[in-house]
Structure 1
């Protein structure tokens, strides 16, 4: 923890070499420390836990739990049906859905600059941008104009993520404007599908924007807290393990 505080990040292999233990030992220690809320694991290492003082950029978020996010994104894309209108938010997990879209006509609404870039020019996708105020850290459009644009559409499926899912309080975000925007998308969507790896299950962030009862589906991993996923099932929420 002294090293992560002074350097801003640590690498698993470097720690294993320095402490003369196996990589697996370091990974287990990092997993334990992440559970205590003092750090966040990344691909190949860890960074300090974000305690509301700094929102991670999209690039930084893409490095976290990459394999889990890709598995979740693939499972999400398999739910899409022909001619549906879907919403993909600006989260790193939802961005992965663009890699697995089925080869039939759909409409994709998004507030994500990177989703627009990924899908531009694909003939089977009618691409709709919400517009709004561009937020550089998340590379997304938010604000009143983005929220109002949603009123024109019936969204069949919403694919989104957040910083945490708490059984009592619901889904939360670290950014108040992102939370407000996602609340509007949920209200406009028939099927509300949360994409959340195990690190987000049972966590709370600064701003809550949706109750668990508003969720239709949770796609997560086998490492997610079973007591929480079982409780969600009891609420009538479909829980899919990727």
Structure 2
């Protein structure tokens, strides 16, 4: 089995190498990534992975089921393997990464059986100049994910521009300002709404709940 180069697109609108259908074993569906396109998932852990990646502004795009890679398994037989996601980062910040999302219980029980396909994925990713990574809940349900979940209710709020503009005017371009200072001058829900919709950014590895008033924010690039 060989990989068809026409199936190895990195564009976000490229068709998936493998389509996800309904499953009784877990939850499947589509998550609208940054309000533009649906990204397929076939477990709640995969959905949470998408939520986490959406929150990281360095992530430029994400595709599910991006490419099918052949690998040699038991008794020399060749099988197809399709990793879960391909994540593209903004130029100059990080490389493109190929991801397999599996719970700790699954991969720790099956790693011997799956190591052949994962080796093939690492080899393929290296040939493309990418990196192959395996993420379980310990890497997905981290501070970044908790921040994204904490801000969900603020993201859903409808806040008029005449309320958000004074906040943005308080944050000089290319400068950082403490959240505490903003909250002294503006309503809490407006400040957190701007962070939730990613108009304001912060160190996503620092927890927002409970809120550290010394945490700094800055305006994101439009």
TM-score of the alignment, normalized to the shorter chain, above 0.5: no
TM-score (norm 1): 0.25
TM-score (norm 2): 0.27
Largest Rg, 1 or 2: 2
